[in-house]
Structure 1
């Protein structure tokens, strides 16, 4: 980035440091205008008189030097999304921020510098009154917190208005894991010699044996499915070790032998009638298995992930090992699984406490 020597106006390389003239060529002006449009910042387009082909200098009152106050709320959101993309965030995360922040800009029609804690609270309250769940409102809060924190770091705002906004409370619902009867019903629903039934049987065992997310299941290759251990890059973009039991590997081999098309070790592991399964395809397959098994509630991949965590803790696995196998960065997410195990302990205490014998007398 360079600056015009006479006036100190940012020209992003269009004028050199030694350039003493105050004239822009038509090509330079068009490049600068395209740059501003791409940045979605209409306030940054410098005044330009084509008849005189002259860039106004600091002595001319028509000049507008770009500063942070020139950014609109909409422009700041778009710049934040560019920042997220430059950081290499997943497309799903960028979509999360884009949807919630653009909804905020459509409801809060004030300049960026006028957004305060009161307007943010009113927006969150409006979202609550629209009968949104507490988790939806909390997601709005998280998106706004990330955005305004970035604005403060980039000095687009003198202070982060979210510092005075407390997070909305959420309903804590600890969903139980799949019971042993439900797991057996799911496996029985996959019995058969057809390659699709063999695939479903192997898929259920894989989900229950590893606790993988649906997106991670889609990453598995044929070589992964036939190995005792393999590496996978999950949600946090960190490679982690995944272990497959002998029963799971055997079920996968039976499915692969029955699959009608030849596959290489690098081929995707899970296939359907229309090709390799996507995340949506895996979710659909799991949902159909749940319906065949007669489960009343909707069955998703996370039910297997939750069951893997709870049964592992019940059998004595350490939290550190469970965190590594599930691919979590910290222990905060595991607290929900620990609560389910605590309920087991409370029930066991109520059934086997020595005081229970005294109550019977």
Structure 2
């Protein structure tokens, strides 16, 4: 009698859970870039656990998570990358718990790494004026540049959101755009911006329909790379120091809105954030404004002034 020996491969619950979670994230409509980021970071975490001979969710405990963070520290990652090495695996683990895959939470007793607050610059009014002066002229490309700068400042839209605008959007006061995670929101165009867009489109030499892309270059519709290059070139013509990225317009929009007294919930909706955690860095930008406001309205200062009178 012949016996066949079958090799039984041990079930890897961690890898299976990771694959299910990534499918769930994809079903939510997250961008390919975000999915790659999750797959890379959480995949490394799972691979690290496997190197410790851990293959099940219940086998992982807080010391394993701490060893993972120490492992990433030893690799010389930045403080922001170290924070993500905690945050993204924690997000994955919370999903596993919500799905009933485990009741074990190895992150519960592990402190999250601290991230030093970096205040990124925003455009000053003088810099905005310099950018607009760099767009002066009657050539259709200069008219396009002016319209693009004003649209970016007026909406706080991300680069890919700007790229997805159509010719038909240019004449509307409000535009429904689709942002990160396929979340939709309304943005608004001032009359000044709509006039700039009208002048640009009137001068644009390409045959345009309502559903045509809004932004064009010498050789056709702009790609994302082309749009970013346009912004950089305007910055160089304006004499601005350093690299001018598209996101500085979004930061400037948020900061100026806060300085003008907008409430956080309204700003959150205008920016398309799902919660307030993503808005902390915008609040840091107006810390100096808050300090000045405190000095101006401090109850102690007011009482002392009254006493001196």
Task: Name the TM-score class by shorter chain.
Answer: 0.7 to 0.9
So what's the TM-score if we normalise by structure 1?
0.72
CA distance in 2, matches of 1:179, 1:137: 32
Instruction: Name the SS for the 1:230 alignment partner.
Output: strand
CA contact 1:206–1:248 (8 Å) conserved in 2:
yes
Aligned length: 298
CA distance in 2, matches of 1:120, 1:342: 34
Pairwise CA distance, 1:211: 0.7
Matched, 1:121 2:66: yes
Quote the RMSD (CA, aligned, Å): 3.1
Matched, 1:224 2:169: yes
Matched, 1:306 2:251: yes
CA contact 2:21–2:95 (8 Å) conserved in 1:
yes
So what's the TM-score if we normalise by structure 2?
0.83
Sort the Cα spacing of 1:310 and 1:150 in 2 relative to 1 into closer, same or farther, 3 A: closer
Farther-moved stretch of structure 1 (147-156 vs 85-94): 147-156
Alignment partner, residue 96 of structure 2: 151
Instruction: Name the SS for the 1:70 alignment partner.
Output: coil
In the alignment, which of 78, 84, 91 is matched to residue 19 of structure 2? 78
Q: Which has the higher contact order (CA 8 A, sep 6+)?
A: 2
CA distance in 2, matches of 1:86, 1:346: 44
Q: Highest CA radius of gyration, 1 or 2?
A: 1
In the alignment, which of 18, 32, 54 is matched to residue 111 of structure 1? 54
Matched, 1:272 2:217: yes
Sort the Cα spacing of 1:294 and 1:126 in 2 relative to 1 into closer, same or farther, 3 A: farther
Alignment partner, residue 347 of structure 1: 292
Alignment partner, residue 290 of structure 1: 235
Sort the Cα spacing of 1:236 and 1:82 in 2 relative to 1 into closer, same or farther, 3 A: closer
Matched, 1:137 2:78: no
After superposition, give the CA deviation of every residue in 1:19-68 in whole Å (9 maximum; x if it has no partner): xxxxxxxxxxxxxxxxxxxxxxxxxxxxxxxx99xxx9xxxx9797x9xx
After superposition, give the CA deviation of every residue in 1:322-349 in whole Å (9 maximum; x if it has no partner): 2222122333333433343341242366
Sort the Cα spacing of 1:343 and 1:278 in 2 relative to 1 into closer, same or farther, 3 A: same
Instruction: Name the SS for the 1:163 alignment partner.
Output: coil
Pairwise CA distance, 1:195: 2.2
CA distance in 2, matches of 1:236, 1:287: 27
CA contact 1:72–1:111 (8 Å) conserved in 2:
no
Higher helix share: 2
Pairwise CA distance, 1:156: 4.5
CA contact 2:161–2:177 (8 Å) conserved in 1:
yes
CA distance in 2, matches of 1:316, 1:94: 36
Name structure 2 gaps, 5 residues minimum. none
In the alignment, which of 134, 157, 160 is matched to residue 212 of structure 1? 157
Pairwise CA distance, 1:218: 1.4
Pairwise CA distance, 1:217: 0.7
Matched, 1:331 2:276: yes
Sort the Cα spacing of 1:129 and 1:182 in 2 relative to 1 into closer, same or farther, 3 A: farther
